Amino acid sequence: MRWLKITLHEHDVLVVGSGLAGLRVAIQLAKDFDVAILTKVHPLRSHSVAAQGGINASLGTGDSWEQHAFDTVKGSDYLADQDVVEILAKEAPRAIIENERWGTAFSRTEDGKIAQRPFGGAMFPRTCYAADRTGHNLLHTTFEQALRVGVKFYNEWFVTSLVRDGDHVCGLTAFDISTGDVHSFAGKAVVIATGGFGRVYSHSTNAVINTGDGCALAFRIGAPLKDMEFIQFHPTTLFGSSILMSEGARGEGGYLVNALGERFMDKYAPEKMELAPRDIVARAIKTEINEGRGIDDQYIHLDLRHLGKDKILERLPGIREISIYFAGVDPIDEPIPIRPGQHYSMGGIHCDKNGMTPIEGLYAVGEAACMSVHGANRLGGNSLLETLVFGRIVGQRIAEYLPNAQRPSSTCVEDEAFKIRHKLQEWLLKDKGENPSEIREVMGETMDRLVGVFRKESDLKAALTMIRELKERFKNVFAGHSDKRFNYSLIRILELENMLDLAESIAMGALMRRESRGAHWRLDYPERDDENFLKHSLFTKVEDYVKTEIIPVNLGMFDVKERTY
């Protein structure tokens, strides 16, 4: 019904996502430009709030940005672009000091300095922290600053499409969850800051909102996705619920113990033990379970008892609460049952070190982006840092772009809004079809089982076949009821559509990469192959198929060498 008017909103910059990355971009721009953030949840429910262990920076005597950069490159299994890593490491102290001055309550040493703890893969204890609720503290502080500078928020709006006019982006469409009405948004620049896509897997530390919406939306208008096969499995997630058990627990001295009572990490990383990079520790735990040394063949123990009650209460209060409420164990007296689970996506929207994608006016930042600062494996403590460092840098780059950018026409986004409204109405009016929850359950189970910690060709081919079958089934999906107000069934369908596209790219990338590197481990290709695969993988949607290609890694100050711990 074309005669029903579509409401148009116009802003200089449209930021999709209200976690730390999106907030930091908006803060950088709000003084001089009209900036709006669209978010499907209230900003303080963004997934940045769940980050526990800390944020890296070379603050102490004996540490340096060069050593931070080397640890990051080595941890990435040399797939990180080293020019981007250099920026991250150099700018880290500035980000910490800025947030401390904004009011972030970091934990302190006895002499009043910001406290730092050891984290996996680091040669120095450079992880600043706020007990085990670091993301919570940083997000609240950063949100306060966004309110102070007058950022416009569209809370609980779901973005349904990006709109491209020729070689540049001109805006987006979204619907107000409270009313179900579709609106159009015109802007000179669009920033994707929607975080990761962990919910493609069934067992994930990610919040239910982490469905990769921004990555999928950018993919559909021709922005390439990069390095999608690199999925980080956190070594320590709570058995039964997959809630994150912070790396800070091992940084404070926690042990990993198998069913025989052995601290088994001496077999896999004798120098670093529990503080080896996450990919190595996750594979070690999975190996112990697969070879029959797991408790009930399902999990192993994270033992904190030797740390003592006082240290646990001071440094790991959140971990203790989660263990008590969700596993029925008090880590002061009992070990915590854990196993690896999906945690982070190193891949994302292909962009440069300023967040620029190949589509003019479209930018990406945070976990949704792939610059690539993490390469094949992210070190703990670098994700919070990435959001703040590159949030500011992307904001600066957009500020340079905007004065000469053409304001898009309203008709560009209005036509797309009518198409989206028709698409949603068709779903709402159907009275039968495929159940989206069943498709989502099969997708998650398939990814867990066939595209997990250990991979092989037959499993990956089976996963790709299943995902494509699910995409066909999705064409006949239905919402279940027709009330468009607060219709979360409709939102789950839109999220599923996004996740299926991303799951296909993950499986394609894992099948293409015939080597083992970082978090991607092929049982049939157990060696790293720098000659053929020291390269990034790209996935671009071209009409009805996905084009794949490879591009070089930006090497720099650090030579490629074997990664041993």
pLDDT tens digits, one per residue of 313-352: 999 999 999 999 999 999 999 999 999 999 999 999 999 9
Of the candidates 367, 350, 377, the one whose C-alpha atom is nearest the C-alpha of residue 80 is 377
Quick one: pLDDT at residue 53? 86
- Give residue-wise pLDDT tens across range 72-114: 999 999 999 999 999 999 999 999 999 999 999 999 999 999 9
Q: Is the pLDDT of residue 372 over 50?
A: yes
* Separation between Cα atoms, residue 72 and residue 26, nearest integer Å: 27
Q: Strands of 535-542's sheet, edge to edge? A: 369-370, 348-350, 225-226, 535-542, 545-552
Q: Is the pLDDT of residue 401 over 90?
A: yes
Could you tell me if 257 and 335 are in contact, meaning their C-beta atoms sit under 8 angstroms apart?
yes
> Which residue has 């190949």 as its token pair?
358
- Give residue-wise pLDDT tens across range 263-317: 999 999 999 999 999 999 999 999 999 999 999 999 999 999 999 999 999 999 9
Quick one: pLDDT at residue 5? 79
Question: What's the whole-model pTM score?
Answer: 0.95
* Separation between Cα atoms, residue 24 and residue 247, nearest integer Å: 25
* Separation between Cα atoms, residue 294 and residue 260, nearest integer Å: 8
Could you tell me if 329 and 337 are in contact, meaning their C-beta atoms sit under 8 angstroms apart?
yes
- Which pair of structure tokens corresponds to residue 563? 């990664």
User: Which of 288-302, 408-422, 547-561 is least confident?
Assistant: 408-422
* Separation between Cα atoms, residue 224 and residue 538, nearest integer Å: 6
Quick one: pLDDT at residue 457? 98
* Separation between Cα atoms, residue 71 and residue 180, nearest integer Å: 47
* Separation between Cα atoms, residue 240 and residue 120, nearest integer Å: 24
Q: Is the pLDDT of residue 1 over 80?
A: no
CB atoms closer than 10 angstroms to residue 477: 19
- Give residue-wise pLDDT tens across range 112-160: 999 999 998 899 999 999 998 999 999 999 999 999 999 999 999 999 9
CA distances from 127 to 21, 93, 276 (A): 19, 11, 15
- Which pair of structure tokens corresponds to residue 24? 């930091």
Could you tell me if 212 and 194 are in contact, meaning their C-beta atoms sit under 8 angstroms apart?
yes
Q: Is the pLDDT of residue 481 over 90?
A: no
Could you tell me if 416 and 161 are in contact, meaning their C-beta atoms sit under 8 angstroms apart?
yes
Query: Residue 2 has what DSSP assignment?
Result: T
Quick one: pLDDT at residue 3? 45
Confidence of residue 60 (pLDDT cuts 50, 70, 90): confident
Confidence of residue 4 (pLDDT cuts 50, 70, 90): low
Total residue count of the chain as it appears in this document: 565
Could you tell me if 323 and 238 are in contact, meaning their C-beta atoms sit under 8 angstroms apart?
yes
Displacement of CA 131 from its chain's centroid (Å): 22
Quick one: pLDDT at residue 544? 85
**DSSP secondary structure string for all residues of 267-316:** GT-TTTGGGS-HHHHHHHHHHHHHTT-SBTTTBEEEE-GGG-HHHHHHH-
**Domains of the chain (ranges plus CATH)?**
232-342 (3.90.700.10)
- The stretch 359-371 carries a mean pLDDT of 97
- The stretch 206-212 carries a mean pLDDT of 95
Burial class of residue 129 in the structure, from the number of CB atoms within 10 Å of its CB (0-12 exposed, 13-18 middle, 19+ buried): buried
Average pLDDT score over the chain? 95
- Which pair of structure tokens corresponds to residue 173? 């469409």
- The stretch 348-366 carries a mean pLDDT of 98
Q: What is the set of active-site residues?
A: 278
- Give residue-wise pLDDT tens across range 380-390: 999 999 999 99
- Which pair of structure tokens corresponds to residue 536? 């990034």
* Separation between Cα atoms, residue 10 and residue 407, nearest integer Å: 9
